[in-house]
Structure 1
Amino acid sequence: MKQTLQEEPMLASRRFFRHWQGTTVRHCDLDPNDHVTNSVFGAWFDDGRYGLLKQYLRPIVAQSDVFALVSVTIDFSREIAFGELPEVGTAILEVGRSSIIMGQGLFIAGACAASCRSVTVMMDGVSRRPRPLNEAERDILMSFAGLRENAAADWS
C-alpha cells in the first residue's frame, strides 16, 4: 500500500470527500506511453485545492493575503488514459494555526487512481510571513472536513 493511503486510507473512498471538481484528459496530457503524464496529476490536484480555497475562503480573506503550498505528496495507483473522466475530491484533514492540511483523491469511474496529501499556509501578503487563521476561516475550512464515518466501510 502507498504511503499516503497508509496514513489516510480514506483518501481512496469517494464517500470521504465533500468538495468535487471534474477535469478533462487532453491529448497533450499524454506521455509517450499514451497515458496521462504524472505532472498532470499534480496540476489536477492543484486545481482541486485552489478551487475549494477560491470559492469558499478567498471571499473572506484580504486580497493581499496568499495561500502558499509548502508540501505535497502524491501516490499513483493506476494509469489514466485519453477519454477517461477524472474527478478530484478534496477534504480538509487538519487546520493548524496558519496551516491547512488537505487530502485528495483522484477518481476514474469511482476507483481511486491517485491520492494526495498537502500542506498550505496562509500568508500575510505584506509581511510574506504566515498569519493565523481566524475563526471564520477555520469554520469554513472545517465544513469541508473529510467524512470519515461515511468512508469507514470502504477502508476498514
Structure 2
Amino acid sequence: MYKEMISPRFFETDALGHINNTVVPVWFEKAREPVFRLFTPDLDIKKWKLIIARISVDFLGEIFYGEDVEVRTGLAKIGNSSMTVRQEVWQGGKCQARGDAALIHYDYSTSSSVPIPDEIRSQLEQHIIGE
C-alpha cells in the first residue's frame, strides 16, 4: 500500500467549514502518482500510457482544515489491460473517504487498450488490498 501525507489548505474548505467534496478526487489523483510512475517513470505526458475510465468516491465523514490527512492507495483488482485503484483518506484515526479509479493501460497511437506488461503487473500485485 502506498501512503501520501497531505496538509489540507485553507482554500480547500467550503462554507460549512470542512474540506470541499471536490478536493478529495484531486488528492486521490496526487496519491496515484506511484502507480503512474510504474508506467511512465518520469511522468512525461508525451509518453503517457494510462487513461482513467471511471472514478467513484464515498464520503464517510467530514475532513477538516488544520490536521493532516493520509491517503492510502492500493490495488483492488488487476485485469489484462485495466486495474482498479482503491484509495482512502484518513484523518484523526478514521477513514473519512474511500474511492475507486479504473485505469486502463492505453496506446494513444492506436487508440486502444494494451496488456499490462508482466514486470509492471508484478509490482502492482505487491499492493493488492482486495475488494
> Can you list the C-alpha shifts for 1:50-82, whole angstroms capped at 9, x where unaligned?
x22234342399963421111111000111111
Bigger shift: 61-70 or 78-87?
61-70
Amino acid at match of 1:110: G
CA distance in 1, matches of 2:42, 2:51: 17
Q: Which blocks of at least 5 consecutive residues in structure 1 are unaligned?
A: 1-17, 149-156
Is the CA contact (8 Å cut-off) linking 2:2 and 2:73 kept in structure 1? yes
CA contact (8 A) 2:38 2:120 kept: no
> Going by fraction, where is helix more abundant, 1 or 2?
1
**Runs of 4 or more above 3 Å deviation:** 54-57, 60-63
Query: How far off its partner does 1:35 sit?
Result: 0.8
- Go from structure 1 to structure 2 and tell me whether the alpha carbon gap of 1:87 and 1:61 turns closer, same or farther (over 3 Å shift): closer
Count of paired positions: 130
Specify which of 86, 92, 96 is matched with residue 113 of structure 1. 96
Q: Which has the higher contact order (CA 8 A, sep 6+)?
A: 1
C-alpha distance in structure 2 between counterparts of 1:64 and 1:130, whole Å:
15
Partner of 1:123 in structure 2?
106
Structure with more of its chain in strand, by fraction? 2
Q: TM-score, normalised by structure 1?
A: 0.76
CA contact (8 A) 1:64 1:124 kept: no
Structure 2 partner of 1:67: 50
Q: Unaligned stretches of 5+ in structure 2?
A: none
Taking only the aligned residue pairs, the percentage that are identical comes to 22
1:78 touches 1:113 (CA, 8 Å); kept in 2?
yes
- TM-score, normalised to structure 2, is 0.89
| RMSD (CA atoms) | 2.2
SS class of match (1:138):
helix
Distance 1:33 1:93 in 2: 33
3-state SS, counterpart of residue 117 of structure 1: strand
